[in-house]
Amino acid sequence: MAETTDYAGAEAEGGDGAGKLPPSAMVKPLSLPDNLLELTRQKEVTILARVMLVATHSGAQDELVREIETLCEGRGTVTGVGLVMRQACMLFCEGRSEAMRDLVLAFKSNLTAKLDDLRVAAFCDDVPSRSYSSFGVMAVNVPKEANLEVPEENMTKFIFESYQRCTLLGKEVGSREVSSALGAIQEKQPALLVSSERIAAIATHNDAMTMDDFFDLHGRPAQPESLGDTIWPMQDIAVDLLR
């Protein structure tokens, strides 16, 4: 076994401390994941997520608007939009990841019996910034989308086009209250609103996740079990310097 010098003891016995290592050299550096977590804490970084829920229904629009509003109230800084049409509805929300998961769970628990084909069309948990500054739900009448081509198999591009339209809608709403802005947008820029036909096509396609699929995949955030040498092996600097 290699011998090491007790520098602290030598200094205590009156040595001049020659060759003494600085305290910082005796500290094992943080792993990369630990550094990222610490940076997040220091800068109070908020990791945002977005969720897009779609469903078909046969109920009253105004009643469904009230129920969605109730489910979304008191959920911190959730922003986004809810569109309720005669035969379909959509919710596009953004906020903290845990808040988005809780919201999906609330829909599953409270609206599954009232909505048909309730599915999660999209979920993204690394959103850099918000598209909406507030939240609002509204019953809307969107013109039928002419020449809508619905793919039989891969719906990824089709879903993304709807997702992108929702983000563009948020930029158009800007700093205005969503509910008040939707009235003018519905009249002057209806193309920004996702149509009932498009929502229904996504909700009835297997490429959109069911509630059970979503919670199997996203129900519990991944927790790294080890963040030290297992992920980023590093030896003590002190050991290397003393060899």
- CATH (domain of 153): 3.30.70.100
- Give residue-wise pLDDT tens across range 36-60: 666 656 555 567 899 999 999 988 9
Cβ burial of 169 (10 Å; 0-12, 13-18, 19+) is buried
Full residue range of the structural domain in which residue 64 is found: 48-218
Q: Is 24 a member of any domain? A: no
Return the closest-CA partner of residue 201 out of 148, 144, 164: 148
- Confidence at residue 30, expressed as pLDDT on a 0 to 100 scale: 62
Structure tokens given for 223 = 């927790």
Q: Which residue has the higher pLDDT, 105 or 24?
A: 105
- Confidence at residue 59, expressed as pLDDT on a 0 to 100 scale: 87
Please report which residue ranges of 73-210 form alpha helices under DSSP H.
97-111, 156-173, 178-188, 196-203
Structure tokens given for 33 = 């994941």
pTM over the 0.85 mark: no
Q: Which residue has the higher pLDDT, 11 or 211?
A: 211
- Confidence at residue 241, expressed as pLDDT on a 0 to 100 scale: 43
**Over 80: is that where the pLDDT of 8 sits?**
no
User: What CA–CA distance (Å, rounded) separates 32 from 146?
Assistant: 51
Q: Is 1 a member of any domain? A: no
At 180, the pLDDT band (50, 70, 90 cuts) reads confident
Q: Is 108 a member of any domain? A: yes
Number of domains in the chain: 1
Altogether, the residues listed in the chain come to a count of 243
Single-letter residue type at 122: A
List, in sequence order, every residue forming a beta bridge with 119; answer none if it has no partner: 54, 210
Q: Is 200 a member of any domain? A: yes
- Give residue-wise pLDDT tens across range 186-238: 888 988 999 999 999 999 998 899 999 988 887 655 554 544 545 454 444 44
At 151, the pLDDT band (50, 70, 90 cuts) reads confident
User: What CA–CA distance (Å, rounded) separates 86 from 123?
Assistant: 25
Return the closest-CA partner of residue 193 out of 125, 135, 139: 139
- Give residue-wise pLDDT tens across range 102-117: 999 999 999 988 899 9
Measured in whole angstroms, the distance separating CA 62 from the mean position of its chain's CA atoms is 28
Mean of the pLDDT values across residues 65-75?
A: 88
Q: Is 70 a member of any domain? A: yes
For 130, phi and psi rounded to 5 degrees?
A: -80, 155
Q: Is 58 a member of any domain? A: yes
Q: Is 243 a member of any domain? A: no
- Confidence at residue 206, expressed as pLDDT on a 0 to 100 scale: 86
3-class DSSP assignment, residue 148: coil
Q: Which residue has the higher pLDDT, 96 or 15?
A: 96
Q: Is 107 a member of any domain? A: yes
3-class DSSP assignment, residue 93: strand
Residue matched to tokens 């009230």: 66
How is the beta sheet containing 79-84 ordered, strand by strand? 135-139, 79-84, 88-96, 48-56, 116-127, 209-210
**Over 90: is that where the pLDDT of 27 sits?**
no
- Give residue-wise pLDDT tens across range 82-135: 999 989 999 999 998 888 999 999 999 999 888 999 999 999 988 888 999 999
Structure tokens given for 232 = 């980023």
Return the closest-CA partner of residue 166 out of 154, 178, 175: 178
Return the closest-CA partner of residue 162 out of 72, 60, 91, 59: 91
**Over 50: is that where the pLDDT of 3 sits?**
no
Neighbours of 206 (CB within 10 A): 10
What's the chain's average pLDDT? 79
Lowest-pLDDT range of 16-20, 53-57, 136-140, 171-175? 16-20
